[in-house]
Structure 1
Amino acid sequence: MPFNIAILGASGYTGAELVRLIATHPEMTIKALSADRKAGMQMAEVFPFLRHLDLPTLQKIDEIDFAGIDLCFCALPHATTQQVISALPRNLKIVDLSADFRLRDAAAYEKWYGQPHAAMDLQAEAVYGLTEFYRAEIAQARLVAGTGCNAATGQFALRPLVAAGVIDLDDIIIDLKAGVSGAGRSLKENLLHAELSGGTHAYSAGGKHRHLGEFDQEFSKIAGRPVQVQFTPHLLPMNRGILATVYVKGDPSAVHETLASAYKDEPFLQVLPFGQLPSTRDIAGSNFCHLGVVGDRRANRAIVVAVLDNLTKGSSGQAIQNANLMLGLPETTGLMLAPLFP
């Protein structure tokens, strides 16, 4: 029998992406969907591209009966999620797509999110949801904290290199371009078509972006000492996709060999032949991440380019990958769909 699934925050982009992916998942059935302002509506009204599906009516969270639910995806804003998850049944498996349980240290959470953590008892049991590096813990977890989409992209490019010691840990630059859906579905002036189309801009520059908290936490843990990267994200007038260009000091061949060896058995991580670079057009709508490595004209310098879809591998696809493990299913179940092209 398929597992019964609830999705909280189904009226947002990541909620809709969860519905799209679970619709063809052979072992999951959507039994409950929540929305706040859109409670009482059908998903077909909110997202017409899903009108072919027979889905539950959107409800308020407190109207959902969780007694028959096996796993719940929380696609809610940060801060809100801590309160919501605290009120859910303690035996319910949960995959959280917000930022509320990504940072293990309470002081780090307050630094990056501007308010105290309100559920440190739950934080203690949360497992960081970068699937390829926390598989064993995720399989045994009740609560998994999905990564930031930017944070996932940068980590796929760098984690094996940090662990292997083949790069200078004090000279790492992540220059990242992201599609506008990563900013969410809420109305924002800077995301209006006339404000965004035809141009691009850097944001949260100078060490202000919240995903730096994840980079600091994870790279420092791997290295056994503090590691701080330079990171500047840019917003591009495209709907989906992230491209991270990562500049490192190290032998390019060793960098490529390290990534290729680390990911040779990973179903969703594809390392291109040395000298080839990926494009966001090659991973759109999929759970794949493509990586490429080239050498710089300066000796002992390498450039790593990583691409993924922020809504799929960076969020909802990653969430389902984690849920598969939590439910004892093959990790790739429902996720091997080919990218959309053109």
Structure 2
Amino acid sequence: MNIRVGIVGISGFGGGEAMRLIASHPSFELVYAAGDGTAGSRLVDLFPGVPVKLAELVIQKWDPITIPKLDVLFASLPTGTSTEALASVPKGVRIVDIGGDHRYVEGWVYGLADVWPTQIEGQTRVSNPGCFPAATLNALAPLLVNKLIDPMNIVIDAKTGISGAGRGSANSKFGYAESNENLVPYGLLEHVHMPEIAKTIERLSGGSAAGLVFTPHLVPMTRGVLVTIYCRGNATTSQCLDAARRFYAERAFVRVTDKPPQTKWATGSNLSFVSYAADPERNLVIAMGVVDNLGKGAAGQAIQNANLICGLSETVGLDGAPVWP
């Protein structure tokens, strides 16, 4: 099967990771790449190690009206920049939006692929979850569905690598000198991922997420997300692990582990690791989740979603092992 795909925002970290995965995908053929500041460049100019078959593909100026005939478009644009443009893309082109503008927007399916794969199959407009929600919601879903925790009392402590902030500019505050040997909390009380986390908690549990607290931190590493989530519930550790193993029994990319997960376990992959520790006497459940913010947290889940909407096995092109060390 030859499925013609395009990427807009290919020069960013998310778009570049999508290009890397598509390059080895047996059914996807990258025929269109678009950007603004990089228009006119060849892919090999931006990515010297790109496969020869893609090296001479020229990046086009992004214009949704003049895109070529495509089956799937991956949009990896900064939040706040894609709503109007993607509305102009021809209806026959299926879109996976890696950016944040269409999460829980009418007409778009929320692409939490490991939790609701059947709801994504055959859709034409899919919004990818953010990187923090990808790690958080995969860890919480089995607990919420099985009523093992109180949805109103959840505290999320999240850590992300610097690539989660995007490529930025030469004057970016996320450069080496600012980020090395530094740990930075940000987005307090109003992070852009809060609404989708809260809405999904409510959707999974049937209750309110009014007490949700979410604090992200930048850590001096390139990629990876680890969330430690504090919940109220009287389940045991074994009950939490058993619930997760049942919930994800048929899911290819979620690994339930007895020991706390580490970010390097997921580097360069579409894997999601979850684990739990609980003390019923203290009414405490700790859920932990790990993803690669550019993999499951962005391009990996986007490819998984595209596989689902195209009628392919969701694992196609995503079977590669994590990078280690």
The bucket for the TM-score relative to the shorter chain is: over 0.9
Q: Which residue of 2 aligns with 1:249?
A: 232
Q: Which amino acid aligns with 1:47?
A: F
Whichever residue aligns with residue 221 of structure 1, its letter is R
Tell me whether 1:28 sits opposite 2:25 in the alignment.
no
Preserved CA contact (<8 Å) 1:6 1:72: yes
- 2:109 equivalent among 127, 139, 154: 127
The answer to whether the 8 A contact 1:189-1:195 is kept is no
| TM-score, length-scaled by structure 1 | 0.89
How far residue 171 of structure 1 moved from its aligned partner, in angstroms, is: 2.1
Bigger CA drift: 14-23 or 124-133?
A: 124-133
Which of these residues, 144, 165, 168, is aligned with residue 183 of structure 1? 165
Q: Distance in 2 between matches of 1:37 and 1:227?
A: 41
- Matched ranges for 1:6-155 at <5 A: 6-50=6-50, 52-55=52-55, 56-62=57-63, 66-104=67-105, 124-155=106-137
Name the TM-score, length of structure 2 as normaliser. Answer: 0.94
Give matches, 1:155-304, under 5 Å.
155-187=137-169, 188-205=171-188, 207-228=189-210, 229-250=212-233, 251=235, 252-273=237-258, 276-296=259-279, 299-304=282-287
Asked whether the equivalents of residues 35 and 61 of structure 1 are also in contact (C-alpha less than 8 Å), the reply is: yes
AA partner of residue 284 (structure 2): R
**What are the superposed Cα offsets for residues 29-87 of structure 1, whole Å, 9 maximum, x if unpaired?**
00010010110001222222326452411011238854531111111112221111111
Aligned CA-pair RMSD: 1.7
- How many matched pairs? 320
* C-alpha separation in 2, matches of 1:77 and 1:255: 36
* SS of residue matched to 2:6: strand
1:116 is matched with none
Contact 1:32–1:64, Cα closer than 8 Å, also in 2: no
The residue identity in structure 2 corresponding to 1:28 is F
Residue pair 2:254, 2:272 contacting (<8 A) in 1 also? yes
Q: Of 285, 297, 300, which aligns to 1:314?
A: 297
* Structure 2 gap segments, 5+ residues each: none
TM-aligned CA deviation for residue 103 of structure 1: 2.7
* Larger helix proportion of the pair: 1
User: C-alpha separation between the residues in 2 aligned to 1:39 and 1:222?
Assistant: 42
Paired residue type of 1:148: G
SS at match of 2:246: helix
Q: CA deviation at 1:221?
A: 2.0
AA partner of residue 249 (structure 2) = K
8 Å contact 2:113–2:301 — kept in the other structure?
yes
In structure 1, stretches of 5+ residues that fail to align are 105-123
Q: How far apart, in 2, do the equivalents of 1:138 and 1:196 lie?
A: 37
Q: Name the structure 1 match of 2:4.
A: 4
Corresponding letter in the other structure for 1:172: I
Report the Cα offset of residue 264 of structure 1.
Answer: 1.8
* Residues in 2 aligned to 1:196 and 1:57: alpha-carbon distance in whole angstroms: 33
SS at match of 2:228: strand
Q: Give percent identity, aligned residues only.
A: 36
How far apart are the structure 2 equivalents of 1:253 and 1:294? 8
Answer yes or no: is the 8 Å Cα contact 2:114–2:254 preserved in 1: no
